[in-house]
Amino acid sequence: MLSLHDLLHRQVPRVPVTKLLVATNLLIFVAMLASGAGLWHSSNSVQLAWGANFGPATQDGEWWRLGTAMFLHFGLVHLTLNLWALWDAGQLVERMYGHARFTALYFASGLAGNLLSLVAHKGLAISGGASGAIFGLYGALLVFLWRERGRLHPHEFRWFFWGATAFAIVSLGLGLAITGIDNAAHIGGFVTGLLGGIIFADPARMSGKSSHVFSSRLSAISILALTVFTLIVRIPPPAYKWSEEVLARKEIGNFLRDDRAITQAWQHILDEARRGGISFDELAGQIDTAVGNPYEESFEQLSELPPDPALPSAATVEMLRDYAERRRDASRALAEGLRTHNPAQIRHALEMARQPLQLPKLSPPTPSTLPR
């Protein structure tokens, strides 16, 4: 009697989809390293740039993140564990269900897991990884083994079925016990894999015909559809719009760059004044042109940003607005003092201009990162 592995290998000799998935995950990880990701851990900014699942971004029209997050890994250990599990289960499940059904199982499980993660964590965590889809493969594997248990040697059935069951239970248990693991994606993927194994009632078989009937397939489709619909309905409103946060951070970067240039121009004007050879009116005009007007423009641009206090950078934007307004007023007061030859006003304006810009470091836009 041939072993389960030999029977499956005889029916489906090659597993191109599993190999392609492993290679894709590996290549994306290497590309992330080249773009600044860390070997052991990646910053939130890198994860978000590569398509991690994050409520304010995903729900701001970037729903493709539910798919791209399946191919992101946040460190070498994370990648190694997931690719080992994918290679181990993928070869069996691809041969059990065939290439097309295996592909559908993998992506349906990953997408459903990411959707449950979005709901469970209220969109407030950055998540990514292939394990939601991998748990789906283990769910489908268990369904196939249970359906075909009468055709398998009892020892082989116990080895594969209870081994896969133990893996799933232990992994889910660790996910509950250890903070920082996206167990919601694991559960969502696993349940989808179980239902998907029932839905695909005509897998690549070892022998005989499928034992599934139309009613069980229809029930599984109904349960899966109802579950997905319920999750979609229960997606919480995003804490803020990611596009607005991106715009605010871009404007902050532009302002800081412009502020350095304006400060240098201001210092150059003051140095020129100390050397003499320029009238007070000419000096005042240069200050208006090189300092006052640019700060006025920056103040207006910052004021036009979306006034959402929930944005992570909202406090920084407000601080920069106040700073731009203060520098604008100081430059105008200095120009006016020069035109009117008012020493007291000139001294007061210079004191205002000397007040430094003190900004808090922009923090990551989410309180946690959840690999899976």
User: CB under 8 Å, gap of 24 or more: what pairs does 157-161 form?
Assistant: 160/4
Beta-carbon neighbour count of residue 63 at 10 Å? 14
User: Which of these is catalytic: 186, 298, 313, 331?
Assistant: 186
Task: Return the closest-CA partner of residue 131 out of 94, 77, 92.
Answer: 77
Look up 131 and say whether it is catalytic: yes
DSSP single-letter state for residue 371? E
User: Which of these is catalytic: 42, 109, 117, 131?
Assistant: 131
Task: Return the closest-CA partner of residue 288 out of 249, 258, 333.
Answer: 333
Look up 186 and say whether it is catalytic: yes
Strand partners, 371: 128
Three-class DSSP category at 369: strand
**Quick check: 123 and 238 in contact, CB under 8 A?**
yes
Three-class DSSP category at 237: coil
Task: Return the closest-CA partner of residue 147 out of 222, 199, 89, 87.
Answer: 199
Strand partners, 125: 368
Residues belonging to the active site: 131, 186
